[in-house]
Every structure is written in structure tokens, then in C-alpha cells.
Structure 1
Amino acid sequence: MAYAPVTSGYRSALQLRTAEVLEKYRSYDPPHMAAFGAELRDSAPACACLAYAINQLAQRSHAAFPVHGQMVQMLVDVYAKVGTAAKLAEDIEPLFYKVHEHDIMRLEEPRKGFAGEQMWNIRAGQQTDGGGIKNRRSVLYAASAYIAHVYGNEYAPEHMMVVYREYCELAEAIQNFAGCIRLIHDRTNDVEPVEQPITDAVGDVLGALEAAGSEAAKLMPAFRRFHAKDLAKHETPRKGPAGEGRWDV
């Protein structure tokens, strides 16, 4: 007979996926401002992917998973804070296009084509791979979209100890994603030639994500409080798993 996993037997799918996103993003070095502009542009939909995953967990907790109603509400509160970060991130693209209108024009509407426009370059020769920002692929969004895909189409835990790990590690998952936004923020401070309002706008998004992570850190102790008896069946089973299993519904 197969027994359910103990508390530490599973890792959060969201924590694992966001860790992969952070690891991939740490190694990404945008070659020019056209590429970095795409990262700024898509910070909002990337945040929305994380919010979507949390919303899916909240909806399934409400409709299918036997968890205390207060846990669902706490999860909705976390989702709302991530949603706030996504909403703040929506301001970055129009602000970026406004503050850097002339810079972006050189990329997207080059005068006399790129061959002509590059004569204004600081360094001799063409510094982009051609093309502007609008249709350029964002590394952050491409990686984050996979998170939404997994939660929307593939994630279907069959046991509550798996769900428990999602609640336990949600704070870490949010911090992983916030780490990507922090990398963008650091670049606006130290590397990329952007104006201060851009740095401030990215900082606002980062602050909102960190607030969401702090809110998510309350989930594990609350889960253990509301479901102490349920967890005890798995962590300290009476007469071992075989004995405790005789109480199974």
C-alpha cells in the first residue's frame, strides 16, 4: 500500500518554477538598451503570471481543497498584493517611452535607417541587432509565462500535503520572482542609462512584491494552527502510517 508523503516529501511547484526563473535571469545580460527595454516593458505581464498562479491556488483552495476558509482569505490577500505589483508595473512602459522618447525613436524609427542613425552612436558601428523594443522578446516574461502555463494546465495536486507545501513556500516563491525585479532595479541604478523616474518606478514594483512576500510568510504558521490535527496524522501517525491509515475516509 502506498502512503501519502510526509511534510518534507514534496517541494512547492511554484517555488521550484520561480527558482528556475531567477536562476535563468541571473545569467541574462541584455546586450543593449533595446533588449533591456523589453524587460522593462514586460515586467507587468511577468508579474501578472505570478499573480495568476497564486489566484489559481486560491480558487482551487476555495472550490476543491479541504482547507480552512481563513487560509483561502489569507491567500487572496497575498494575491491582491502581487496584483498591486503588477498594476504598478503597468506604469513602467508608458513612463519609459515618455522619458526616453528620443532614445527610443532612434531604435524604432531610425533616421535614414540604421545605417544613417548609427552615425550618431557613441561607439562606432551599429550597437543593436536591428529593430526596436515593441516586438522584441522579453527573457523575464518568457520564463514567467511558463509559471502560468503550469498552474493553468498541469498543476493538479492529489494530496493535501502537496498543497501544504505550496502554502509553506509561497513566500520564498514570491521572493524568487522579486529577485528578478531586483536585478532589473540594480541595473537601472548601476548599468543602464535610464533616468531616475524609471529606477523609482521599478523600485515601487519591487517594494510591492516584497510586501506580498511578507504577507505570504504568515501562511505557514496559520496553516499549522488551523490544520494541526490534520498535519499530526502525517507527521506523527499513531501506530505508524499503517495504523493511522485505518482512520482514512
Structure 2
Amino acid sequence: MSHFVQATEAARDAYAHYDPPAMLAVAAEYEGLPEGISAVGQAIRDLVLNTADRYPVDKALAEQLAVVFAHVHAAESKAAEVAHLFRDLHEHDLKRYEEPRPGEHMWNIFERRLDGTYARRPSVFVLACQDIAHTYARNELTRMMNGPSVAAEYEGLPTGLENIAAAIRFLAVKSAEAYPVEKPVAEAVAEVEHQLMRAVSAAQELFPRFRRLHAPDIKRHEAPRNGTVAEAMWDA
């Protein structure tokens, strides 16, 4: 399986089961969206550069990957808008934490929590996406086909991006249905997901193009003449 798919599945699953304890934790997710997507983009950027400079493939594949990266970068820009919008629309709510008045807790709906949940927490999305970038950087690909390979990364890229989009979809749905935020915030998060799905669409063109442009190379692996050992006599 693709390293990218494995890492993004972990991020998706971690986020699916995350239940923020208070709104400051939710705020961390909104504010962390651009940083998290940037980390995902770094992994894709590495794949773009390796495809262009290190892997024995047609340059058209690097060009297609650059299109994917551009969509991810656009999603990062939209994510930055979410963070600003959230702060603008919830200035008063945030001020209660950041510049509390004497006796601020008297405005609470429930009693003050005693578990430290008023303190800011790191974004779960950011931490998960940073793991993706680190995992991808650590795993150097040395084969074009079979097992951990360049082909597996090309094939898995759409699924990996769908996993990230799914994590953001969780946030969009909870923002619309569960969190006490203004409607434009939920809509802005949904726009980030939609932009990532454009990256998915572009990524879906990559593997078919790889197979088409490198059909003779792939055939040596999938239909070796007189067996693998014999075909290996053509290894460079």
C-alpha cells in the first residue's frame, strides 16, 4: 500500500474519533487547518520534485502532479480564510477567554470545568498532517513497481487526498450541526473540502497516465517473458 494512503488513513481515523472538549479546542482546529493542509502539500511537493528529478518517468507526470499540488495550495489558502472568518465572527466569544473580565465565569452556561479544557490545545488535524509529511519524508522509494513503489504512490494519491478531505468534512459537518459557531464558518470549512476534492480529481488522472506512458516498462513486471528470472536479464 502507498505510504501516503497509510498515513492519511491514520489522520482521517484520528480526526473522526476526536471529540473536542471545549470551544478553544475547536478554535485550534479552525486555526490549524492551513498548517495541516500545508503539511500534506509538502508531501505532494516532495513527490512532484522526485518525479521531475529522480524517477525514470515521463515529465508529463510531474506536470500533472504540479496541478494536484496547485489545488492543495488553493485549499490551504481557503483554509486560512476560515481561521480569519472564525476570529472575526466570534470575536466576543474568544475575548472571554483571551481577555476575561473579573468574574467572567459567571456568564458560563454550565459550571466551570476543572479538567483544564479552557487552555488552548494543539490542533489534532495539524499533528496528524505533520505525521503524514514526516512519514513521507522518511520513506525513500527505490522501486518503480511492486510493494512500496513509485507506482503505488501514484495510484494511492487520490485515496490519500480523499482521506484528508474526509477529515475536513467531519469538521464541516460538526460545525454545521454540533458546534456553536456562525453558519458562514461551517460553509467556509465545506469550501476547503470542495477545493481538496478538485485535487482528488486531478490526482485521479495520474495513475492512468503513468500506465499509458510507461506501458512497455510496466509490461515487463506484469507479463514477464518466460518468467521473472528471464525478464530480469533485461535489467539495466
TM-score, length of structure 2 as denominator length: 0.95
- How far is 1:126 from its partner? 3.5
Unpaired stretches in structure 2, ≥5 consecutive residues: none
Equivalent residue letter for 1:94: H
Task: State the Cα RMSD in Å.
Answer: 1.3
Match of 1:159, as an amino acid? Answer: R
Match of 1:22 among 12, 15, 18: 12
Deviation readout 1:94-142 (Å, 9 max, x if unpaired): 1111100000011222112xxx211101123348725454xx3111101
Match of 2:68 in 1: 78
Q: TM-score, normalised by structure 1?
A: 0.90
Cα distance in 1 for residues equivalent to 2:115 and 2:63: 48
Q: Matched residues in 1 for 2:111 and 2:14: separation?
A: 31
In structure 2, the CA distance between the partners of 1:244 and 1:234, relative to structure 1 (3 Å rule), is same
Counterpart amino acid of residue 204 in structure 2: A
Work out which of the residue numbers 167, 181, 184 in structure 1 matches 2:168: 181
**Inter-partner Cα distance in structure 2 for 1:200 and 1:125:** 30
| Partners of 2:21 and 2:117 within 8 A in 1 | no
Matched, 1:87 2:77: yes
Question: Any conservation in 2 of the 1:118–1:126 contact (CA below 8 Å)?
Answer: no
1:170 aligns with 2:160: no
For the Cα contact (< 8 Å) 2:37–2:75, is it kept in 1? yes
Q: Provide the C-alpha distance between the structure 2 equivalents of 1:106 and 1:97, rounded to a whole number of angstroms.
A: 13
State the one-letter code of the partner of 2:187: D
1: CA distance, partners of 2:73 / 2:119? 29
1:219 corresponds, among 195, 206, 214, to 206
Q: Which runs of 5+ in 1 are unaligned?
A: 1-10
Q: Is the 8 A contact 2:61 2:206 kept in 1?
A: yes
Q: Post-superposition, which runs of at least 4 consecutive aligned residues in structure 1 deviate over 6 A?
A: none
State how far apart, in whole Å, the 1-side matches of 2:114 and 2:66 are: 45
Report the equivalent of 1:33.
23
Q: Match for residue 47 of structure 1? A: 37
Q: Which letter does structure 2 place at the counterpart of 1:103?
A: D
How many residues of Structure 1 are paired with residues of Structure 2 in the alignment? Answer: 233
2:140 pairs with 156, 174, 178, which one? Answer: 156
CA–CA separation in structure 1 for the residues paired with 2:124 and 2:183: 23
